[in-house]
A and B are shown apart, each in its own frame.
Chain A
Amino acid sequence: MSLILLVEQTLNGLQFGVMLFLMAAGLTLVFGVMGLINLAHGSLYMIGAFAAAAMAQASGSFLLALAASLVCAAFAGVLIEVLVIRRLYDRDHLDQVLATFALILIFSEGTRWLFGSFPLFLDKPEWLSGTVILPFGIEYSLYRLAIILVGLAVAAGLFWMIARTRVGIRIRAGENDREMIAALGVNISRLYTFVFALGAALAGFAGALVGTIQSVQVGMGEPVLILAFVVIVIGGIGSIKGAFIGALLVGLTETLGRFLLPEAFALVFDPATARSVGASLASMSIYILMAGVLIFRPKGLFGSA
């Protein structure tokens, strides 16, 4: 019984990690290519979730809702890149932090103004509800399993795009030497807009997928954004591979910590103390993990220079 629970929690951790990867991938790409720290990435996540909820309400179709999340988040991404972000590439990180903090304020209050403060709910489609029986008789939510598979597929697609396609070559070249690829005739400004929109679309997509499990509300993006920061700090900023490993590490630590730590403390303390100490420690566990990684590798696991 406990073993089945453990497998279930591990899968939950995997699902959480895969979602974190979708967030972290955009952040780390934008930082790697443009050298920009973008706090408003969480707002794009929120925009994706709200777009999906609105579309699902209007059309009743889950697939259309997902498409809406991709399109709206990418569109919002292009919009802020052209209007604001573009002016920040040459600025120091402090200006970038503040300008994108200002964007968070604008997006959050704007969304509250449009949709109100009450959370919206996004239902999973019928063909994805219910459970599946995995090998060894383990029952697991079909929707969460689908998220894991979709997330892994997106990750694989991203790796393929960056390693094998022309756009991917340009992105990698942009990370190495901006001036050089601009001199070689690549429209660098269009490349930047594309990378930003790609990251935005991934964040919006993650928002829609997670919004179905949780509720869709203003301020949902920032906790995830901060976790995504932890992910890319652990993985090494700019590294997609690092973001993937980091996301899985954080997802598993967070989920298993919440499940295992109270149980572990229950062996030593009485149940009430074990629960509260375990819960406090579990909520801090990923930050302890991050601090640990930084002590040994200040540039993250896969960070360069």
Chain B
Amino acid sequence: MKREMVFNLALLALILGVALWAQASDEPFLITLTTRAVIFAIAGVGLNFALGFGGLVSFGHAAFFGLGGYVMGVLAYHAQTYTPLFEAPLLIQGTKSMPVIWLVSILLSSLLALAIGALSLRTSGVYFIMITLAFAQMLYYFAISWAAYGGEDGLSIYVRNGFPGLNTMDPLQFFALCFALLLIVLLLVSLAARSAFGLALGAARQNEARVQAVGQTPYRLYLVAFVISGAITGLAGALFADLNRFVSPVMFSWQTSGEIMVFVILGGVGRIFGPVAGAVLFILLEHLLGGLSAYWHIYLGAILLGVVLFARGGLYGLIAGREVAHD
């Protein structure tokens, strides 16, 4: 347990150190790359809450990632064109304020997760995997055919949204914002994992029947976990869209779901910091292998295959020992 803690801190120090070093040596691209890793880490932490703690293998978290992205895109688009979002029941304007966008992303992602979860959790196992995938795919096609917001081409936002007191167009300040959010999310998730709810959830993952016998309802536990998980991933989506100042249906695609899952697995399922390590490793691989060959996905596939077949438990499994088995 102690070794894992040391590794957690080293990981955070590494991320922070790379960003600061990049700032000192004037390499804004490297800061952006680190910010990407941080945002992916948040998305991964979100998925890990359902996947690692609840044992819910969701292959459709792109739904929440994309929704977060589109919340940012649509709100900022209306603010940038000075057109109201709604007029009919009450007037709602677009906004360029990050905190508002984050709140709306979290709220809408929770609602979407509630709807998808309520339906999908009626099933389990392989059905659950396929159904979550299908729901994400449904939103993907919806985003493509939704011509009002760019359809297949997506939406470009010209200026990054603002945060009171900060200049978000400065790479380091935006990085700091994302990093702070990652820390908050990690803190909340570790608190939730240790709470009565988190313990009951872990118990439900291991043995549903016994949890039921002591008076808990697994379905309700799973649903709450799924909603929390979706909300975190939705927040990451809003940040990712803000990083690129662009949102497109690709954020909803099944590859995105797969990649978020890869962060979790590379790092180690069920470890609170696992997805952080996974996202950093993924960005590192993308950067190194991508420079090596245009077909770097072959290597990524081979590495992933190797991890699944021979190194279960991911990076954390290798470094901190296999204390937490995923079953």
Please report A residues at the B interface, Cβ cutoff 8 Å: 31, 37, 84, 87, 92-95, 97-99, 101-106, 108-110, 112-113, 222, 226, 229-230, 232-233, 237, 276, 279-280, 283-284, 287-288, 290-291, 294-295, 298-300
1/0 per residue B281-308: CB within 8 Å of A?
Answer: 0000000000000011110111011001
B104 to chain A, nearest CB (A): 22
A-B contact pairs, 17 of them (CB 8 A): A37-B130, A84-B309, A93-B126, A101-B262, A103-B305, A105-B298, A106-B297, A109-B296, A229-B130, A233-B131, A283-B141, A283-B144, A287-B134, A290-B134, A294-B122, A294-B131, A295-B119
Instruction: Tell me the bound Cα distance from A279 to B141 in angstroms.
Output: 10
Question: Does B129 make an interface contact (CB < 8 A)?
Answer: yes
With A94-B57, A222-B254 known to touch, is A298 a contact of B304 (CB < 8 Å)? no
- For B312, give the chain A residue with the smallest CB separation: A95
With A105-B298, A109-B301, A283-B142 known to touch, is A98 a contact of B265 (CB < 8 Å)? yes
Q: How many residue pairs bridge A and B at CB < 8 Å?
A: 120
CB atoms of A93 and B57 under 8 A apart: yes
Q: Which of B127, B141, B146, B298 contacts A233 (CB 8 A)?
A: B127
A-contacting residues, B136-156, CB 8 Å:
137-138, 141-142, 144-148
Instruction: Tell me the bound Cα distance from A248 to B301 in angstroms.
Output: 34
Instruction: Tell me the bound Cα distance from A103 to B301 in angstroms.
Output: 6
CB atoms of B262 and A98 under 8 A apart: yes
A248 to chain B, nearest CB (A): 18
CB atoms of B146 and A280 under 8 A apart: yes
Instruction: Tell me the bound Cα distance from A232 to B129 in angstroms.
Output: 12
CB atoms of A290 and B269 under 8 A apart: no
| Set of chain A residues within 8 Å of B301, measured between Cβ atoms | 102-106, 109
A244 to chain B, nearest CB (A): 18
CB atoms of A276 and B147 under 8 A apart: yes
Q: Which of B126, B131, B134 contacts A31 (CB 8 A)?
A: B126
| Set of chain B residues within 8 Å of A288, measured between Cβ atoms | 138
Q: Which of B148, B298, B302 contacts A113 (CB 8 A)?
A: B298
Instruction: Tell me the bound Cα distance from A113 to B174 in angstroms.
Output: 37
Question: Does B167 make an interface contact (CB < 8 A)?
Answer: no
Q: Chain A binding site: helix, strand, loop or mixed by DSSP? A: helix
- For B126, give the chain A residue with the smallest CB separation: A37
CB atoms of B127 and A284 under 8 A apart: no
A28 to chain B, nearest CB (A): 11
What 14 additional pairs, Cβ within 8 angstroms, besides A94-B265, A110-B298? A97-B261, A98-B262, A99-B305, A102-B300, A103-B301, A105-B298, A105-B301, A105-B304, A233-B127, A283-B144, A284-B142, A295-B122, A298-B127, A300-B127
CB atoms of B119 and A294 under 8 A apart: yes
CB atoms of B302 and A102 under 8 A apart: yes
With A94-B51, A106-B305, A283-B144 known to touch, is A101 a contact of B298 (CB < 8 Å)? no
With A110-B298, A226-B134, A280-B145 known to touch, is A97 a contact of B304 (CB < 8 Å)? no
| Set of chain B residues within 8 Å of A105, measured between Cβ atoms | 297-298, 300-301, 304
| Set of chain A residues within 8 Å of B7, measured between Cβ atoms | none
CB atoms of B254 and A226 under 8 A apart: yes
